């Protein structure tokens, strides 16, 4: 018995120029916010962009972007709706934003299903909001999307950066490209994470200061792009 | 109509398998469809007939269905998926992504959403036959 879905994923990814997986070793470092704002920023610059929320058990990009009342269209597959200039895909279309408790094998299955039936068409960038860690979604992504490049998010905490080391070591071992590291929630001018990132041979893409006002802009895309946070995310674009 | 996307996957997987077996022509393709995904078999068959390439010119598609069997990981109870117990929206959501069954279905005995889909999830390519 063969799972036929895996055989069509390359075809579904064919017209996507770059796949950027926004990932981290630990949760709560700001991946979803960075993935959402990165997607919006790229779209605003005129690129064709898709955003796919792969955090199936805790999806949040739809809340950040204030997306509701839209559904994919069916046309020999599913076509993600265009919202705020982004072709947007999330499991919430099907879970109706209710709790979806999934074990690892279910996460894999849902990921393979959505990758095999979603028709993105031509994109410059597909931004993936990954679940934290080096579990099923990360391993499946490495296995199934050969062109994926990883953008790693950390905080200034050594606890977060220790998990960056593990993620980077996994990716390096498998020769998966790493775009670089973003340090989020910086509380001071410390250069420690920059130095440690460079010591790993990785590019330090941006240091984003902690912004207590960002919470007020959740769900309001125009205001999100006006934040200092968004300006710092914009610094990542030339490295993509 | 996302049966078309699944049919494309079946054709691609069967072509890959034929390549591995060095088959010049494929004569039979055996497909198993689990009832959890509620695939419309006539659409799947039609899509397969439209999507087949030269290698599949004389191929017959044999589709078997499998009941979707679920087992609770908490109390061990086993039961068979029944679409009629769900509202239309929930059934449709499961049709697209069978894993969201964990959102809409609970163990009928203990109420847990922590169950395993033992059999009958979605579309599988069982085997192919052909000529070298």
| Domains of chain B in sequence order | 3-131 (3.30.2320.80)
Contact between chains at A106 and B5 (C-beta distance less than 8 A): no
Neighboring chain B residues of A96 at a CB cutoff of 8 Å: 89, 93, 103
Size of the A and B interface in Cβ pairs below 8 Å:
110
Two structure tokens written together for B63: 């589709």
Nearest-by-Cβ selection for A1 from B2, B5, B125: B125
What confidence tens digit (pLDDT) does each residue in A126-146 have? 999 999 999 999 999 999 999
Tell me which residue has tokens 């792009």.
Answer: A225
| B78: nearest Cα among B37, B120, B126 | B120
Instruction: Reply yes or no on whether the pLDDT at B3 is more than 90.
Output: yes
Average pLDDT of chain A is: 95
- The confidence band for B2, taking pLDDT boundaries of 50, 70 and 90, is confident
Could you give the domains of chain A? 4-239 (3.40.50.300)
Query: In this predicted structure, what is the pLDDT of residue B1?
Result: 64
Contacts of A113 in chain B (CB under 8 A): 96-99, 122
B114 touches chain A (CB under 8 A): yes
Nearest by CB to residue B1, choosing from A7, A75, A116, is: A75
| Interface contact flag, A94 B122, Cβ < 8 Å | no
């Amino acid at each position: 018995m063969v799972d036929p879905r895996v055989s069509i994923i390359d075809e579904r990814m064919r017209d996507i120029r770059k796949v950027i997986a926004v990932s981290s070793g630990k949760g709560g470092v700001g991946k979803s916010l960075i993935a959402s704002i990165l997607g919006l920023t790229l779209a605003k610059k005129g690129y064709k962009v898709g955003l796919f929320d792969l955090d199936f058990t805790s999806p949040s990009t739809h809340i950040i972007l204030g997306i509701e009342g839209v559904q994919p269209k069916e046309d020999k597959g599913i076509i993600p709706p265009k919202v705020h200039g982004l072709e947007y895909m999330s499991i919430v279309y099907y879970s109706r934003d209710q709790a979806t408790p999934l074990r690892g094998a279910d996460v894999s299955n849902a990921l393979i299903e959505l990758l095999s039936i979603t028709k993105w068409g031509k994109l410059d960038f597909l931004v993936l909001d990954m679940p934290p860690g080096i579990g099923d979604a990360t391993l499946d992504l490495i296995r199934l999307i050969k062109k994926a490049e990883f953008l790693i998010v950390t905080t200034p905490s050594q606890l977060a950066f220790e998990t960056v080391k593990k993620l980077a070591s996994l990716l390096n071992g498998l020769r998966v490209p790493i775009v670089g590291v973003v340090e989020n929630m910086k509380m001071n001018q410390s250069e420690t994470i920059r130095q440690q990132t460079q010591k790993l041979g990785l590019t330090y893409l941006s240091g984003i200061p902690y912004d207590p006002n960002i919470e007020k802009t959740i769900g309001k895309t125009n205001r999100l792009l006006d934040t200092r946070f968004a300006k710092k995310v914009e610094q990542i674009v030339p490295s993509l | 109509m996302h049966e078309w996307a699944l049919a494309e996957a079946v054709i691609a997987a069967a072509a890959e398998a034929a390549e591995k077996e060095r088959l010049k022509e494929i004569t039979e393709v055996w497909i198993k469809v689990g009832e959890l995904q509620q695939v419309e078999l006539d659409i799947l068959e039609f899509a397969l007939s439209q999507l087949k390439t030269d290698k599949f010119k004389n191929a017959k598609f044999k589709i078997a269905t499998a009941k979707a069997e679920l087992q609770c990981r908490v109390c061990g109870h086993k039961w068979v998926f029944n679409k009629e117990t769900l509202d239309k929206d929930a059934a449709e959501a499961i049709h697209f992504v069978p894993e969201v069954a964990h959102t809409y279905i609970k163990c009928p005995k203990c109420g847990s959403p922590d169950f395993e889909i033992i059999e009958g999830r979605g579309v599988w390519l069982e085997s192919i036959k052909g000529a070298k």
